[in-house]
Amino acid sequence: MKFEKKVISNLTKCYSCAPLHYNDQDYFLVAAEKVDRCLLFDMNGNQVDTVWEQPGGVMSMVQVPDSNGQFLATHKFYSPNDSKEAKIVIVTPIAKGNWEIRTLVDLPHVHRFDIIRRNGVNYLIACALKSGHEYKDDWSMPGKVYAAVLPDDLSVFNEDHQLELTVIKDNMLKNHGYYKIVESGVETALISADNGVYQFFPPETEGGEWTIEQLLDTPASDASMVDLDGDGEKEMLVLSPFHGDTITIYKKKEGRYKAVYEFEEKADFLHAIYGGMLCGKPVFVIGHRKGKRNLMIFTFNKDTASCEVQIVDEDCGSANCMVINNGKNDVIIAANREIDEVAYYTVEE
């Protein structure tokens, strides 16, 4: 693959990126981890609006299903040691330069969240990295996973009337990684923590129980799944341990995930992860924030029956990444946090 890079913004400590459909057009959002802006771009990488100037602290952004540009976002998660005031907010476009922001729920240390749908019901699933701390780098209070039915009408929620959440799993030490995985037509949540990798299945009917399966018991920072080798079953790529340096691909054998590949290099502070299609091929896109700080693509070569790695960019320090299509090409969007740049990589086969 060939890559053409364009820097579309210099956003301090840019971190989170997400697609947004608004006024019958596709856009994408990029927001900062520290106190800075959230920006809206068109699919060609042109900045078209500033959603907010502050407070930042944005770990996740997710569009409300079937809405016209309304989305949820985390605010005030500035770091694992500065996230006691973190919350999930509702962001609603009113007009250009005017986006209404209201509180959905105060949730200290909320790091990742998503909206997943099953049988017509939307569920909010939210992951708190920890449950509290008393001093810097205190991990004595493990995180939790929360859930709630998300009503179609969010206009009733604000600082004084918040969505009520239920804990569906606790004791999740360093509860960091999240990825949406569609399994047999059902949207599920792949959640990674020091305890391992878990898959959360929403209830079949509203009011039912969540099903939770542990896929791995080894410490993990993030994970994603894609059918990399084309055999009809998804492989799982895992970054480990928490903010770690090891990339491993697991394959399901005899009902259990077993390691079949490990990247020969150590990649310090692994963080960005995408698993899906790129130029018609199943890929994993991985970025790390220390050391060489590369953005890499992992593919499977059927002729040699082996994994191959290609460098997209060097010394960029991606915190998160995603893939879009601008109508002509697939594009990798990367929040290159360590060098304060939003990058737009046009990909050609």
Instruction: Give tens-digit pLDDT for 186-236.
Output: 999 999 999 999 999 999 999 999 999 999 999 999 999 999 999 999 999
Confidence of residue 18 (pLDDT cuts 50, 70, 90): very high
- 262 near 276, Cβ under 8 Å? no
Q: Rounded to 5 degrees, what are φ and ψ at 109?
A: 70, 15
* Rounded average pLDDT over 79-99: 96
Residue among 152, 128, 142, 149 nearest 195 (CA): 142
Residues 6+ apart with CB under 8 A from 142: 130, 131, 170, 171, 172, 173, 174, 175, 193
- Looking at the DSSP bridge assignments, the partners of residue 234 are none
Dist CA 209 CA 125 (whole Å): 13
**Cβ 225 vs Cβ 190: under 8 Å:** yes
Q: What is the DSSP letter of 146?
A: E
* The pLDDT of residue 135: 93
Q: What is the pLDDT of residue 60?
A: 98
The pLDDT, as a whole number, for residue 276 is 97
Is residue 77 within 8 Å of residue 58, measured between CB atoms?
Answer: yes
Note the pLDDT of residue 349.
86
Inter-residue contact 227 to 206 (CB < 8 Å): no
Whole-number average pLDDT of the chain: 97
Phi, then psi, of 338 in degrees rounded to 5: -70, -15
List CB contacts of 197: < 8 A, sequence separation 6 or more.
Answer: 177, 190, 191, 214, 215, 216, 218, 220, 223, 236, 238
The answer to whether the beta carbons of residues 158 and 103 sit under 8 Å apart is: yes
For position 206, what pLDDT does the model report?
93
pLDDT computed for residue 190 by the predictor = 98
Model pLDDT for residues 146-192, shown as the tens digit of each residue: 999 999 999 999 999 999 999 999 999 999 999 999 998 999 999 99
Question: What contacts 184, CB < 8 A, 6 or more positions away?
Answer: none
